[in-house]
A and B are shown apart, each in its own frame.
Chain A
């Protein structure tokens, strides 16, 4: 397919050119429309799952925030949460700064993110806020585990002589390939035996295992283009291996590590099958609550929850895309 029609194109060629574009447009519509359409529906003033005549007429009274109010709850003590969130944001930004990012953009992003998370933390909507809080407790710990183990292992795997590399890789990637229901069943049986079933720790370990393949894949992909002469140069200039790792290798592979971490985070944050079996009522997460809601009595608050999750994925997608570009720029700097 050429990008422009030549002036001598026949009618058939013209028809095919535009017809193909219309077909593609329809498929894009199929991909995006279901996600977009729930956003206006979540502002419905009625308890319906379709557009009311008032909504179609763009009558302001037909729209309301009541489902969001039901999600977040009204009473709350947001100030402590705000402080916690700001602290979290500042800590992450400081980490970025130490690791070599000298622009203030990530500090701003994480500051705002921390602020939002912190504000939500203080809200008291029983049915949805407790699951959201559980999700926000489980996902970061699971992410931290998978990123720290996964990055180390990815560096090991990218060395030139690794015995049994194929077998090790197959084992490490397997959590992504094995159907979730089978992982869930196995973990349910095994974790009940060793007393981890129904505990916070059990859910965190399970989610960390599920997130590891993503970290391995993204970090090894970054390491493929890594120029080994840089570490040799550092060693030559007198740096010990630890200094070399933190000052030379880490800043260069950091974008890969962070996007692997985001994948691990979203895996844990979205995961529902394993948590249903490994967790108990005390670890009910947001997707679990949505699943219960969808299976039993579907209420429009689910649409509000879904809209919030879409917003979160847009933010994460943006961050991953920015990181990918930064990584390419960094690697472009080093001769390879």
Chain B
């Protein structure tokens, strides 16, 4: 021990304490390692992890209702879910629907809600065509009262902020011009009308690239004006067009027309149906568990969570089938893979290397090549059936259906995944010393006992590793079940693909995917615990 131990900390050559010097060197080493890893980590995070996280969000995301029908959603909060909603709700729906129809968003929302309650899609499409008539009777009465209400400039002057009106009224305004801004004074006097007009003005600007000063408002704006004037007080207002407004306010009590509820009922009776409103309300939250519930055959109804009607319960069946078939495939792989791995690990290295090529060749061959081979071989007019007929096992008119069913999927996938079972088994069996079995035999064990009591228990880690690997790979398979599975041999993956590309129900696809992912990650964790991801070997 040097003197330094007594006097103070051990010093490095340059005079700094050794401890600090070492920890600095360690920190530098860690930093260098991280710098080398960082580019790849960033790359994977952006190209792979971000998409997965995006999918997780999509499975609960449900902004479409609150984005397309914002006013209706707010008004519906006061609804007690019994009986028909109030006139205010229908008025809000009229404003929302008019904008949605102009922006062509209503059909998208219709098909989204149709996943929950059938019939909404056609109701929405029909209403999209009829919504511009809502408020027409009021518009006519305003026109009759004073033709100035027919002029787009009147509306712009009444509603727009003064500087906006001035800028937009110039002759050289091209296209939509400046984004519409509301007059501050009118907002307090005519709250609904100003909201409806703003929605009109901005939609016209963004959708048609037109100047609102030159466009007559939608009929729903007249409806809003009628509603404001019949409830509110305009005497305090002294901005532009105050006289016109006072005149209209005086005349409004004599106006007659359909209320918003009557107008919607006129388009389609279903708007008086509580179920439609319950569906809209149930999915008005920006996040929903609805997709997950559908993914396990439940549904969100106004009365709470219920099971789907029996004819629509498909997903639990599919999950069960996927798991059952993956287990069957795993079992087949163990049964076929164990003898091969056993043989390979007990032959002299030269022979076993040669035979290993027979395992590696399928491993390296394209998945589609192997699938197409099975598709060709298993056909009714294919080689296997021809052979069976030729031998005489099967009559020519009773050829076996080996493909487009569960059997086809199991045969083809066992073949495809078998190398993934053999390789881990082989690498474990290679490490089992043959002297143990010899010792057991010399102690009097029969061949079978020696195998069962001595060899087999030592090969169990290999079986475990192989089974988890094959099961993980099988459970997410898409291509092979799609091509040889027919209708009964398909997996949950095929349903996910169907929802992405055909039915366009992305939320449900994401929810099914999330469940499958969770399942795989649990198995991955188990695999990591048993084998360790660092110990995965290829070829």
Determine if A31 and B415 form an interchain contact, defined as CB atoms under 8 angstroms apart. Answer: yes
Determine if B372 and A303 form an interchain contact, defined as CB atoms under 8 angstroms apart. Answer: yes
Range, interface on chain B: 35 or more
Determine if B44 and A266 form an interchain contact, defined as CB atoms under 8 angstroms apart. Answer: no
How far is A247 from B347 in the complex, measured between Cα atoms in Å? 40
Determine if B29 and A35 form an interchain contact, defined as CB atoms under 8 angstroms apart. Answer: no
Contact of B372 among A188, A209, A294 (CB under 8 A): A294
Determine if B381 and A38 form an interchain contact, defined as CB atoms under 8 angstroms apart. Answer: no
- Distance from A329 Cβ to chain B, minimum over Cβ atoms (Å): 15
Contact of B339 among A23, A35, A263, A302 (CB under 8 A): A23
- The interface residues of chain B lying within 8 Å CB-to-CB of A28 are 340, 355, 358
Does chain A have a CB within 8 A of B276?
no
Does chain A have a CB within 8 A of B496?
yes
Determine if A179 and B493 form an interchain contact, defined as CB atoms under 8 angstroms apart. Answer: yes
Determine if A24 and B340 form an interchain contact, defined as CB atoms under 8 angstroms apart. Answer: yes
Determine if B51 and A160 form an interchain contact, defined as CB atoms under 8 angstroms apart. Answer: no
How far is A13 from B386 in the complex, measured between Cα atoms in Å? 37
Proximity bits, B499-539, A CB within 8 Å = 1, else 0:
01100001001100100110011001000100001101111
How far is A304 from B475 in the complex, measured between Cα atoms in Å? 30
How far is A291 from B47 in the complex, measured between Cα atoms in Å? 25
Whether A189 touches B55, Cβ cut-off 8 Å, given contacts A38-B373, A178-B520, A212-B40, is: yes
Which residues of chain A in 1-53 are interfacial with respect to chain B, using CB atoms and an 8 Å cutoff? 1-3, 13, 16, 20-21, 23-24, 27-28, 30-32, 34-35, 37-38, 41, 48-51
- The interface residues of chain A lying within 8 Å CB-to-CB of B476 are 178-182
Determine if A181 and B346 form an interchain contact, defined as CB atoms under 8 angstroms apart. Answer: no
Does chain B have a CB within 8 A of A162?
yes
Whether A35 touches B370, Cβ cut-off 8 Å, given contacts A156-B34, A190-B54, A294-B375, is: yes
Contact of A188 among B359, B500, B524, B534 (CB under 8 A): B500
Determine if B47 and A152 form an interchain contact, defined as CB atoms under 8 angstroms apart. Answer: no
- The interface residues of chain B lying within 8 Å CB-to-CB of A113 are none
Does chain A have a CB within 8 A of B312?
no
Whether A186 touches B54, Cβ cut-off 8 Å, given contacts A175-B48, A220-B534, A303-B376, is: yes
- The interface residues of chain B lying within 8 Å CB-to-CB of A287 are 366-368
Which residue of chain A has the shortest Cβ distance to B359 in the bound complex? Answer: A31
Does chain B have a CB within 8 A of A114?
no
- The interface residues of chain A lying within 8 Å CB-to-CB of B477 are 179
Please count how many residues in chain A sit with their CB below 8 Å of the partner chain's CB atoms.
96
- The interface residues of chain A lying within 8 Å CB-to-CB of B348 are 3
Tell me which of B93-101, B255-263, B478-486 binds A. Answer: B478-486
- The interface residues of chain A lying within 8 Å CB-to-CB of B53 are 186
Which residue of chain B has the shortest Cβ distance to A190 in the bound complex? Answer: B51
Determine if B37 and A162 form an interchain contact, defined as CB atoms under 8 angstroms apart. Answer: yes
Does chain A have a CB within 8 A of B50?
yes
Does chain A have a CB within 8 A of B431?
no
Determine if A34 and B377 form an interchain contact, defined as CB atoms under 8 angstroms apart. Answer: yes
Determine if A162 and B342 form an interchain contact, defined as CB atoms under 8 angstroms apart. Answer: no
Which residue of chain B has the shortest Cβ distance to A185 in the bound complex? Answer: B513
Does chain B have a CB within 8 A of A298?
yes
How far is A321 from B360 in the complex, measured between Cα atoms in Å? 10
- The interface residues of chain B lying within 8 Å CB-to-CB of A235 are none
Whether A35 touches B372, Cβ cut-off 8 Å, given contacts A1-B342, A189-B506, A209-B44, is: no
Determine if B339 and A24 form an interchain contact, defined as CB atoms under 8 angstroms apart. Answer: yes
Determine if A290 and B368 form an interchain contact, defined as CB atoms under 8 angstroms apart. Answer: yes
Which residue of chain B has the shortest Cβ distance to A172 in the bound complex? Answer: B44
Which residues of chain A in 297-336 are interfacial with respect to chain B, using CB atoms and an 8 Å cutoff? 298, 302-303, 306, 309-310, 313-314, 316-317, 320-321, 324
Does chain B have a CB within 8 A of A70?
no
- The interface residues of chain A lying within 8 Å CB-to-CB of B365 are 35, 309-310, 313
Proximity bits, B92-112, A CB within 8 Å = 1, else 0:
000000000000000000000
How far is A160 from B29 in the complex, measured between Cα atoms in Å? 8
Question: For A3, A23, A159, A320, which residue has the most chain B Cβ atoms within 10 angstroms?
Answer: A159
Does chain B have a CB within 8 A of A161?
yes
Which residue of chain B has the shortest Cβ distance to A177 in the bound complex? Answer: B524
How far is A34 from B348 in the complex, measured between Cα atoms in Å? 27
Which residue of chain A has the shortest Cβ distance to B52 in the bound complex? Answer: A186
Determine if A168 and B52 form an interchain contact, defined as CB atoms under 8 angstroms apart. Answer: no
- The interface residues of chain B lying within 8 Å CB-to-CB of A295 are 482-483
Determine if B367 and A270 form an interchain contact, defined as CB atoms under 8 angstroms apart. Answer: yes
Determine if A181 and B30 form an interchain contact, defined as CB atoms under 8 angstroms apart. Answer: no
- The interface residues of chain A lying within 8 Å CB-to-CB of B483 are 291, 294-295
Contact of A209 among B43, B55, B534 (CB under 8 A): B43
Proximity bits, A148-161, B CB within 8 Å = 1, else 0:
01101101110111
How far is A190 from B47 in the complex, measured between Cα atoms in Å? 9
Nearest 8 pairs of A and B residues by beta carbon: A179-B476, A156-B36, A186-B51, A190-B51, A153-B40, A186-B55, A156-B37, A159-B33
* 25 pairs, CB–CB < 8 Å, chain A vs chain B: A3-B346, A20-B339, A27-B336, A27-B340, A34-B370, A35-B373, A51-B383, A149-B40, A157-B37, A162-B37, A169-B533, A174-B48, A177-B520, A182-B52, A185-B513, A187-B48, A189-B506, A218-B538, A273-B478, A291-B479, A298-B375, A298-B376, A303-B372, A306-B373, A313-B365
Listed in ascending order, the chain B residues whose CB lies under 8 Å from chain A are 26, 29-30, 32-37, 39-41, 43-45, 47-55, 58, 336, 339-340, 342-343, 346-348, 355, 357-362, 364-377, 379, 381-383, 386, 415, 418-419, 447, 472, 475-479, 482-483, 493, 496-497, 500-501, 506, 509-510, 513, 516-517, 520-521, 524, 528, 533-534, 536-539
Question: In the complex, given contacts A156-B37, A193-B54, what are 6 additional A-B residue pairs having Cβ atoms less than 8 angstroms apart?
Answer: A3-B347, A178-B476, A208-B47, A259-B539, A295-B483, A306-B369
